[in-house]
Amino acid sequence: MNITYLGHSVVEITMSDGTHVIIDPFLKNNPLTKKEPMDVTAKWIIVTHGHSDHLGDTIEIAKHNQATVISIVEIAQYLARKGVANTHGLNIGGGYTFPFGRVSLTPAIHSSSIQENGQTIYLGEPAGVAIEAEGKTIYHAGDTADFSDLALIGEKYQLDVAFLPIGDNFTMGPQDAAKAAARLQAKKVIPIHYNTFPQIKQDPAAFVALLPEGVGKVMTVGETIEV
């Protein structure tokens, strides 16, 4: 499979048969990427939580592609009310095997809501996501703090790649993310959720330097790697 990073927390996965999966498709208001929602051809969308920089352009992309959105139950229900035809709700600790692979939701310590018409709408618990496909396991932590049970995720999944937020302020910062990486023991760790806004300005190379040699990798926006 190939993995492309689109800035902030946006990750695209292309399976060997051409199936496209996109995680947290925040594009239109993402200053780090030039990709537009209408450029996305994914048939599967995974959303870790409801904040606008993660839910992003899910509705537009899902309707344009007749895509299925996989997320926590409350987000799936919210999107259905917004006219998204195909959703699949999961909950923390649960998983489901889709045509492209198995998706499981893992705990994350954060919050999850969206603002509409001056009101805060609760959108269920935030999550990380583990994707098992083509003999590989990819972990996207969503927005989370470091917590000790990340070690259980690493133990269960034997991760090939882990995407970890490093921006601080809203998520764990570089030092805590390095501790999280040690708990997860992924073969490759890629920083996300940084430099999009002034509050989350970080040096990703400095984060990588905190990890064992060869484990960390900074992906430039638009870069694709093969896993």
Q: Measuring CA to CA, which residue among 55, 60, 68, 172 is closest to residue 124?
A: 55
Cα–Cα nearest to 14, from 25, 27, 3? 3
- Tell me the C-alpha distance between 63 and 84, whole Å: 6
pLDDT in tens, 81-129: 999 999 999 999 999 999 999 999 999 999 999 999 999 999 999 999 9
Beta strand 119-122 pairing with 161-165 = unpaired
pTM of the model as a whole: 0.98
Sequence letter at residue 223: E
CA distances from 46 to 43, 56, 78, 167 (A): 10, 11, 14, 21
Q: What is the DSSP string of 41-72?
A: --SEEE-S--SHHHHTTHHHHHHHHTPEEEEE
Q: Output the pLDDT for position 210.
A: 98
CA 210-214-219 angle, to 5 degrees, is: 80
- Virtual torsion, Cα 149, 155, 159, 162, nearest 10 deg: 10
Q: pLDDT for 122-163, tens place per residue?
A: 999 999 999 999 999 999 999 999 999 999 999 999 999 999
Handedness of CA 74, 76, 79, 83 (dihedral sign): negative
Interval 28-85: pLDDT, tens: 999 999 999 999 999 999 999 999 999 999 999 999 999 999 999 999 999 999 999 9
- Provide the token pair at 205: 């190379």
- Least Cα distance to 99 among 149, 49, 144, 133 occurs for 133
Q: Which domains does the chain have, with CATH numbers?
A: 2-218 (3.60.15.10)
* CA atoms within 13 Å, Cβ hemisphere of 166: 30
Residue with tokens 């935030």: 126
In a 3-state reduction of DSSP, which class is residue 32? coil
Q: Are 177 and 191 in contact (CB under 8 A)?
A: yes
